[in-house]
Structure 1
Amino acid sequence: MNKTSSEVQATVDAVKLKDLSKSAPELFGVKTGVDGIDKLFYKAEFSKETGKPVVKPLGGIPAYSVINLSGVADTGKSLFAEQFAVTQANEGNSVLYITVETPAEFLYSSLLSRAAAMNIDKSKVEENVYMLDITKDFNIRGNINNFIKTIENAATRFNIKNVVIDSVTGLFESKEIYAREIVRTIYNFLKSKRLTTLMISQKRSGQEHLSAEAAGGYAVSHIVDGTIVFSKQVIMNRFDSSTFKRPIGDVIRLLRVDGCRMCGHDSKTYVFEIEQNGLIKVLYPLGYIAGQQKEDKE
C-alpha cells in the first residue's frame, strides 16, 4: 500500500543556528580582474572602539557565490568572464570554463589575448583554465543531470575552484518553461561544491536593459546569489549627447549590481568602457555626470 505524503518520514531535520558555525564559510572576496568592480562588494564590521559599523571592501565577488551576468548582446558579459578566468588562473586557482555557445578552440586566442592585455603569463592561463565544450553535445547540453555529472567529474579531477558558464541560457533556449528548475539544479550543485561561479544569461531585445530579467524571466536572478546587469545605449540625439557628455553616434555602456544576498554592495549605476585591448574598465557612477553638469552651471 502506498504511503500518503503525511506518512512519509522526513529526510531533513531542523538544526540549531549555532550548529552551523563550523560549516559556515568565511566571507572574503575573489578577484575578478575587472578594474573598478571588486570595490563594489563589501562587508560591515562593528568597531570595538566606537561600536559603529565599518565598511570594508571584499576586494572581489563573494567567495562561493553564484553571480549572474545579464545583458543584451555585445555589452561585455563574456569579456568580463574572460578577465575573471584569466585573473584567477594567474592566482593559481583552477577555472572550469563551460562554453555553451562558442566552440572552445575559438576561445583559446580570446583568453590569451586577455592575458596579454593584463600582462599575465599565458602559461598560467593555459595550465589553470580547463575548457568544457558542450556546444555540439546535446546529451549534456539538453540533459541537466548529465550536465551536473560532467561538471562534478571535472571539478573533482582538476580541483576546480571557479566556474564560468557562457551561457546558461543555452541550456534552456528551446524549453524556457523549465528555466527555473534547470537553474535551481545547477545553483544547488555549485553551492554544495563551493564553486565561485559567473553564470552568463542572455536578454531578449525587448526587455528593459537595466533590469535583471533575462530569457527565462527572472528564473536566474531570483535563484542565484547576485546579478550584474550590463547595458549599452547609442547616443542618437542632442539631449542624450548633452546628458552623457558624448557625441552623437557614440555608445555609452552601463552596469550595476542588481542585488547580492551574500554581502553588501554598491547599487549605483556605473559607466564603463571596453578598451581597445578588450579589457573592461569601470569609470564612475552615472550620477557623476549630472553632478558635473550642475557644477558647470554654478
Structure 2
Amino acid sequence: MADRVKFGVEGLDEMLLGGLLEGSICAVVGTYGTGKTMFALQFAYEGLRRGEKVIYISLEEREEHLRTTIAQKGWDTGVFDDRLYLVRLDPTDFNLAINSIKSELSSLIKSFGAARVIIDPISLFEGLFEDASVRRREMFGFIEIMRDEACTLMLTSEANTANPEESKYGLAEYLADAVILLHRIRSPGLTEVHLALEVAKMRRSAHSREIKPFEILQDKIMVYSEAILF
C-alpha cells in the first residue's frame, strides 16, 4: 500500500483518509475566490515543514507576491532554506512556458530532488493550446511523463464557468488520480457566501464523499469535516 502524503489542511487529510497517495496526481478545481492558490501554498508548506523539497510553478502570481502572501501568513520561513524552488512562468510567452514545463521540469525534479511539485494554475498552461485535440494530446503526454517522476504532483485549475463542477477544459479531472472540488455556496437569503469542498475522486483509495464547509484563516485552511453542510 502506498504511503500517504499529508495535504496539510486540517479536516481535508481526514477526508482523504490520511492524505494523498504518494506519487499521485491531485487536481484542485474551483471558481474564482475559492482559494485554489491558498490550497497550493498550504500543500507546499506542509512538505517544507516535513523536510521535503518543493517546486512551485506559478503561471499567474508573481514570485514576489507569493512570497508576500507566505510572509503574511506568519509561517516559519526558516523551514524553507534552500528547499523551495519558486518560479513564475509568463503564459504570454508561449514557447518559453511550453518548453519550460514540457522539456525542463522533469530534469529539474531529478536534479533538485523534489518530493512535491505544484503547477498553479494548470488551466493557463492548457489555454496555450488553441486547438482542443492538440491540447488533449499535449496534456496526456505531459501527465504520462510526470507519472515516471518520484514526486506527488498538485495541479490547480479554474472551473468551467458553465459548470463549476468541471475544470475549465474538462481534462484535469480525468488526468488526475485525486480531484478536490471547491465550491462557493450562497446562503438561502443571499446574505453571505460560504465555501465548501468535496473529494470528488481518489483512485486506489477510499475517501469521504461528503461535502464539507471550510474557511481560509490568517495562517491556515480549516475544513470542518465533522460539520453538516448548511
TM-score if structure 1 supplies the norm length? Answer: 0.71
In structure 2, the partner of 1:16 is none
CA apart distance, 1:78? 0.8
Q: 2:83 aligns with which of 123, 128, 131?
A: 128
CA apart distance, 1:150? 1.6
Structure 2 unpaired stretches of 5+ = none
- Larger relative contact order, structure 1 or 2 (CA cutoff 8 Å, min sep 6): 2
Structure 1 unpaired stretches of 5+ = 1-25, 43-58, 242-247, 291-298
Which amino acid letter does the alignment assign opposite residue 204 of structure 2? M
In structure 2, the partner of 1:202 is 158
Q: How much identity, in percent, do the aligned residues show? A: 23
Which amino acid letter does the alignment assign opposite residue 216 of structure 1? Y
Q: Is the 8 A contact 2:54 2:115 kept in 1?
A: yes
Q: Does 1:168 align with 2:127?
A: no
Q: Does 1:151 align with 2:92?
A: no
Q: Does 1:271 align with 2:213?
A: yes
CA apart distance, 1:274? 1.4
Q: 1:98 aligns with which of 40, 49, 57?
A: 57
CA apart distance, 1:94? 0.4
Q: Does 1:81 align with 2:40?
A: yes
Q: Is the 8 A contact 2:161 2:168 kept in 1?
A: no
TM-score if structure 2 supplies the norm length? Answer: 0.90
In structure 2, the partner of 1:193 is 149
- In structure 1, C-alpha distance between the alignment counterparts of 2:95 and 2:14, rounded to whole Å: 40
Q: 2:70 aligns with which of 103, 111, 115?
A: 111
CA apart distance, 1:146? 4.4
Q: Counterpart of 1:265 in 2: which secondary structure?
A: coil
Q: Is the 8 A contact 2:57 2:88 kept in 1?
A: yes
Q: Counterpart of 1:266 in 2: which secondary structure?
A: coil
Instruction: Output one character per residue of 1:37-73: Cα deviation in whole Å (capped at 9) or x when no partner.
Output: 111123xxxxxxxxxxxxxxxx211111100000101
Q: Does 1:280 align with 2:221?
A: yes
Pair 111,150 (structure 1): closer, same or farther in 2 beyond 3 Å:
farther
- In structure 1, C-alpha distance between the alignment counterparts of 2:50 and 2:95, rounded to whole Å: 34
Pair 182,112 (structure 1): closer, same or farther in 2 beyond 3 Å:
farther
Query: How many pairs align?
Result: 227
Which amino acid letter does the alignment assign opposite residue 124 of structure 2? G
In structure 2, the partner of 1:11 is none
Q: Is the 8 A contact 1:229 1:256 kept in 2?
A: yes
CA apart distance, 1:172? 2.1
Which amino acid letter does the alignment assign opposite residue 96 of structure 2? I
- In structure 1, C-alpha distance between the alignment counterparts of 2:81 and 2:70, rounded to whole Å: 9
